């Protein structure tokens, strides 16, 4: 029986999009956790981590968002980052160190592709990260 390399490549090509979907959408129970590590006046340095429910290779899209200021359409204000906007955060990718400093009136959010967004009437919304406060 002769094997055809074209069929093998076709089989691999069919598997790649399925793997990409797994990475793009977080598994159930996977979320962003924030630990305020070092506080100074009205800011804290955030330690970001994936919750224990996340599988290896999970990458979340994360950003900072204001809890007080809103834009004209009612959406929360985000810092102006024309080149970035949000970061991919996972085991091998992280947020730049200088961006981890967070004012207490801001919160960290992650993109939940499976959550219903009542404002847009579609799936996908930014969800507040779980804050874990360490006690001495």
For the residues of 26-39, what is the DSSP string, one character each?
A: PPTT--EEEEEEEE
Q: pTM of the predicted model, to two decimals?
A: 0.70
CB 65 within 8 A of CB 85: no
- Sequential pLDDT tens for the chain (136 residues): 455 444 444 443 444 333 333 344 566 789 999 999 888 899 999 999 999 999 989 999 999 888 887 776 666 666 666 556 789 999 888 899 999 999 999 999 999 999 898 888 999 988 999 999 866 5
Domain ranges of the chain: 28-131
pLDDT value for 80: 62
């Amino acid at each position: 029986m002769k094997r055809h390399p074209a069929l093998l490549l076709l089989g691999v090509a069919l598997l790649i999009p399925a793997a990409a979907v797994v990475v793009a959408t977080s598994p159930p129970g996977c979320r962003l956790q924030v630990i305020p590590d070092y506080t100074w006046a009205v800011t804290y340095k955030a330690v970001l981590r994936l919750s224990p429910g996340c599988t290896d290779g999970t990458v979340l899209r994360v950003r900072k968002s204001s809890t007080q200021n809103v834009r004209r359409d009612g959406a929360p204000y985000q810092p102006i980052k024309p080149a970035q906007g949000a970061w991919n955060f996972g085991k091998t990718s992280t947020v730049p160190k200088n961006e981890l400093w967070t004012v207490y009136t801001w919160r960290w959010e992650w993109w939940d592709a499976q959550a219903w967004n009542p404002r847009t009437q579609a799936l996908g919304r930014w969800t507040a990260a779980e804050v874990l406060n360490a006690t001495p």
